[in-house]
Structure 1
Amino acid sequence: MSSARLLVGPLLRRIVGTSATVWVETSAPTVVHVRTADGAAGSARTFTAFDHHYAIVVVRGLTAGSATTYEVFLDEERVWPLPGDEFPPSVIRTRLADDRDQPVRLVFGSCREATPQAPARKLPPDALDAYSRRLMRNGSADEAPDLLVLLGDQVYADVTSPQVRKLLRRRRRRPKDAPSTQVVTYDEYTKLYLESWRDPEVRWLLSTCPSVMIFDDHEIIDDWNTSASWRADMRAQPWWAERIASGLASYWVYQHLGNLSPDEIEADPVYAKVMAEQDATSVLREFGARVDTESDHAHDTERWRAVQYQWSYSLDVGATRLVMLDNRCSRVLEPAHRAMLPPGEWSWFLDQAHGEYTHLVIGSSLPWLMPPGIHHTEAWNERLAASPHRITADLSERLRRLLDLEHWAAFNRSFEALAALLRRIGSGPRSVSGDRIGAGPAYPAPASISVLSGDVHHSYVARARFLDGQVQTPVHQLTCSPIHNQVPPGLRPVMRLGWARLPSAAVRGLARSAGVPRTSVRWRKLGGPYFGNAVGTLLHTGASAQVTIEGTTSDGTLHTVVQTPLTGTSR
């Protein structure tokens, strides 16, 4: 009998062809085996860091176009399914070998506080719990998502539950002046994932639906990397070095490692170092600190290519390409170079955005298209924050932090660069270099382009209209947030007002008067805003695309609040 227990997981992560990855955390070093009902299997020994033990198992030999149940063993003791578990069996579903004509279903959302037994505050029912319960009831393979896309704030390091706060109060050895209700150390971070991912419905969902993730600010702290002066102020805090290193190291272990394909895992330099050590604590501690420091040089293209660890990634599901972007860690924050992505990573993004696919999906934790009134406010604030007049710049910086003015609109260079890229891709055949005639292969315009986002604690669908050039492809902003959180009631009228024509025009005029250039794209709302807890579904069938956003009712079920086609309409 194994001395190890299953603490967290299994999480079914990437499915690539006839291989799948399964992530687990165990209570002691062990060998993890995953075996399926149709004979596919995989094994991996755990790695150890900070007295915690993890494994990511590659299951090979799956049958294309099949659905098979699986079990997890530690050494030779079965630990999953749990004894007496009444949930349906966990299943690995593969796609057909030639799957480009198969429908693709992406379920997405962001911002989920855990659902402990004694919540710190009353929140509406958890949309991920509700989605999981419906999937259990229906049990239809046609409704199962091909991918669960979690767009940030999977855990909240700075907003903790009563249970976690109780644990923090008992801890004697914490960094000096550490916030009493916030996690700081790696071990404290593990309690957040334990609390969130052992929610029974969510645990089952993550064990049977493949998932990919990206961080937003609350995995570290609210307003993470808002500006260069913000970084300087945080580094002056005696507990910050521990917090940022622990947050990034734990994110790599719990979230990022599972975003990678089996080949990418084997090629990852951090994974190789971790597996080479009996105790990888020092490896991950150094990694977390180094990655944060590297972003100080993000504007330096050559240095970035040499040293920067990349959190962004890309994958294909059938004829759909998903490119997930890091909107937080690698920001360029120097006012003269401010950008969402450093130059080297932007070049990588350009390469990934071109290719043979029918639908392009960009995962961005922060919405590209915000309510217009809010967009122009952020652009105005960015312009004033770069003022040569110190008082104006200082006041604008304070306003930036106070109102969280740090979305794409507050990085105008990146906002316009993304607009130009999507206009170029959606305007017809172009080569990889972006030219109509070039050395690389020419790719046709995709059937749809969607930007999936969260962060803003309300949900909406908006369509972009480019002011120059004929764009064949419909381009949409699809925002679904929160999964389990809420917007303070006092802010809801402000967010609604952000969509109103006259107030938006007034703020746009204010931004223009400050020297903000005219945007190259306009957009209008097709659905929302919806302020309840919600989960979104993006469905691609052939050349058609449709989005559905479902909110939770008081009894914890889902109801449709927005459903709209994204193709085949001139709206």
Structure 2
Amino acid sequence: MTAQLLIGPVLRRVDGDSATLWLETSEPAEVRVEVDGGGAGSASTFSAYGHHYALVIVTGLAPDSAHPYRLTLDDRVAWPAADSPYPAPVIRTRATDDRDQPVSLVFGSCREATPEATRRRLPPDALDALSRRLMADPAARPDLLVLLGDQVYADEPSKKVRRFLRLRRRNGHHGPVDQVVAFEEYTKLYLESWRDPEVRWLFSTVPSVMIFDDHELIDDWNTSASWRADMARQSWWRDRISGGLASYWIYQHLGNMSPDELAADPLFQKVSTADDATDLLRDFGRRVDEPESAENTDQPYQWSFALDLGRTRLIVLDNRCNRVLTPGARAMLPAVEWDWFLDRAHGDYDHLVVGSSLPWLMPPAIHHLEAWNERTAESHRPRTAAFGEKVRRAFDLEHWAAFGKSFDALGELFRRLGEGGPEAPGHRVGAGGAYAAPSSISVLSGDVHHSYVARADFGHAMATPVMQLTCSPIHNEVPLPMRPLMRISWSRAVARVARGLPKAAGVRKPRLRWKRLAGPYFGNAVGTLTLDGQVATARIEGTTRAGELYDVARVDYRPENGRR
């Protein structure tokens, strides 16, 4: 049969003179990409679970250029379509020496599928709106799209996918009738979401990186050790976690790796050369779900990743899969991955950007509630601990504040980096041999279905601004009754009252404070972080009823007093 292009191409990494494109086809095929102005690459598809995928690395690209490209399957042009109403997709490269070239990152999280496919009417999709803007103004294309979780909703599928699930359940495939379980069911989510015509064009012409949050697997994924124990008792959970992580690895994680990282990744080398990689990926999905513990001493698979753009370093952290859930030793990242993060946080750059699907700095009242809850859930009194666990799950109290040691460690890292000097963790050496502080530190997040900008205050003058930039949702919404509660959670008066809970439980007051500079905004939105010289500009744009973007927040920040 003739191979058809099912999903993609999705332009992922652009590294120097190379670019990586991902796609799914209906049949095995030879894939080739040719770029006007020079550059080409080819690959054979690999197969798993009856599906066919390819990762094509294009080399020989001209620096500082933007040229259209064509993708062929078995020598037939498959992209762009001959009758496409959209501009030709391009691959844009940066200058060979891009140290003085600005960097633009678009970010956001939480996107349900197209309006026709959702179970409820939602405001216009912010990615659709972004796509239309870039079609009209190619010069506005960002360097990178950073998607921070909930790219698909395995536990809240559309009507179309639920009809498919009911049919499978009647045919003997076990699992809930309204949630996906098997790999095949996960593929329907990506097919539905990534074939949105405007988003498909956007993905084909703007590089993207992605990290999961909970809804790629299930709401509140890895909230606590007892949560995991309860889920393990579900007859369908083993297939759910295996299919979910295997599909995430193929659809999202593969493109996060550079060509060198792909060449060094043993799983990719096995999968891409196997006749059928189903068993490899099924076993992988089950194996990498095991958290760090005394019984499991295997090094966890690393979902976190890092890359440099000009003088900007982006580090994206896994906030979900590899959490340490042992009471008394809870951590957002296991020790080996935290050490990797510290190593990447050192180096020669001007701006540090950390991608975290869960906000580091939450509304203060919620932060205090989560800090109290962590202490309560770890009480030596069984009834108190059970009550704390019940509250933790009921109110989704599982952000950085609910992993207090990790919250403090991240703040301490940022403080030391921002202060510079000989005690800094190891930044670029400046004049006179002193360590130079970065121009800015920004944490990009999503998850909480409202957008805001906040600045950390470490209690003393520090040249480097440390900012929390939260943008969520891209295409979802907060129930109206919840919005007043989320607004007042930013209130100083409410925060003072909420602080009494962790104080009474013996939880130390945070070493830093933070102030909201913009927001909260509750509509669909995308964020843009632009880094130009020493200046950083954070911009949040919402969608109008007509599906156009408009500014809801804009904050400029730079080193104070010009000090570095």
Determine if the TM-score, normalized by the shorter chain, exceeds 0.5: yes
- Give, in whole Å, the separation in 2 of the partners of 1:53 and 1:443: 49
1:144 aligns with 2:141: yes
Give the structure 2 partner of residue 486 of structure 1. Answer: 477
Deviations 1:380-406 (A, max 9, x none): 010100111111110110100000000
1:256 aligns with 2:248: no
- Give, in whole Å, the separation in 2 of the partners of 1:561 and 1:174: 49
Residue segments in structure 2 that go unaligned for 5+ positions in a row: none
Task: Tell me, yes or no, if the aligned pair for 1:12 and 1:209 is still in contact at 8 Å.
Answer: yes
Give the structure 1 partner of residue 500 of structure 2. Answer: 509
Give the structure 1 partner of residue 119 of structure 2. Answer: 120
Task: Tell me, yes or no, if the aligned pair for 1:387 and 1:393 is still in contact at 8 Å.
Answer: yes
Question: Among 400, 407, 431, which residue is 1:408 paired with?
Answer: 400
Give the structure 2 partner of residue 62 of structure 1. Answer: 61
Deviations 1:514-551 (A, max 9, x none): 11111011001000000000000000011100010000
Give the structure 1 partner of residue 32 of structure 2. Answer: 33
- Give, in whole Å, the separation in 2 of the partners of 1:510 and 1:283: 48
Question: Match for 2:550: what amino acid?
Answer: H
SS of residue in 2 equivalent to 1:414:
helix
Question: What are the residue-to-residue correspondences of 1:457-476 with 2, within 5 Å?
Answer: 457-467=449-459, 470-476=461-467
Give the structure 2 partner of residue 53 of structure 1. Answer: 52
Instruction: Report the CA distance between 1:307 and its aligned residue.
Output: 3.0
- Give, in whole Å, the separation in 2 of the partners of 1:531 and 1:358: 32
- Count of aligned residue pairs for this structure pair: 557
- Give, in whole Å, the separation in 2 of the partners of 1:122 and 1:271: 39
Task: Tell me, yes or no, if the aligned pair for 1:165 and 1:181 is still in contact at 8 Å.
Answer: yes
Distance 1:443 1:42, change over 3 A: farther
Give the structure 2 partner of residue 276 of structure 1. Answer: 273
Question: Among 301, 309, 313, which residue is 2:301 paired with?
Answer: 309
Task: Tell me, yes or no, if the aligned pair for 2:349 and 2:428 is still in contact at 8 Å.
Answer: no
- Give, in whole Å, the separation in 1 of the partners of 2:341 and 2:434: 17
- Give, in whole Å, the separation in 1 of the partners of 2:424 and 2:303: 23
Give the structure 2 partner of residue 219 of structure 1. Answer: 216
Task: Tell me, yes or no, if the aligned pair for 2:416 and 2:424 is still in contact at 8 Å.
Answer: no
Instruction: Report the CA distance between 1:173 and its aligned residue.
Output: 4.5
SS of residue in 1 equivalent to 2:510:
coil
Give the structure 2 partner of residue 556 of structure 1. Answer: 547
Distance 1:430 1:343, change over 3 A: farther
Question: Among 519, 522, 535, which residue is 1:531 paired with?
Answer: 522
1:452 aligns with 2:449: no
Give the structure 1 partner of residue 343 of structure 2. Answer: 351
Task: Tell me, yes or no, if the aligned pair for 1:175 and 1:239 is still in contact at 8 Å.
Answer: no
SS of residue in 2 equivalent to 1:292:
coil
Instruction: Report the CA distance between 1:224 and its aligned residue.
Output: 0.1
Task: Tell me, yes or no, if the aligned pair for 1:429 and 1:436 is still in contact at 8 Å.
Answer: no
Instruction: Report the CA distance between 1:513 and its aligned residue.
Output: 1.1
Question: Match for 1:332: what amino acid?
Answer: V
SS of residue in 2 equivalent to 1:218:
coil
1:285 aligns with 2:282: yes
SS of residue in 2 equivalent to 1:548:
strand
SS of residue in 1 equivalent to 2:456:
strand
SS of residue in 1 equivalent to 2:507:
coil
- Give, in whole Å, the separation in 1 of the partners of 2:320 and 2:123: 28
* CA RMSD in angstroms, aligned pairs only: 1.7
- Give, in whole Å, the separation in 2 of the partners of 1:52 and 1:175: 18
SS of residue in 2 equivalent to 1:484:
coil
Instruction: Report the CA distance between 1:266 and its aligned residue.
Output: 1.0
Identity of aligned residues (%): 61
Task: Tell me, yes or no, if the aligned pair for 1:354 and 1:443 is still in contact at 8 Å.
Answer: no
Give the structure 2 partner of residue 166 of structure 1. Answer: 163
Instruction: Report the CA distance between 1:83 and its aligned residue.
Output: 2.3
Task: Tell me, yes or no, if the aligned pair for 1:408 and 1:414 is still in contact at 8 Å.
Answer: yes
Task: Tell me, yes or no, if the aligned pair for 1:430 and 1:436 is still in contact at 8 Å.
Answer: no
Deviations 1:33-77 (A, max 9, x none): 000111310000011000000000000000010111001001100
Task: State the TM-score, normalized to the length of structure 2.
Answer: 0.96
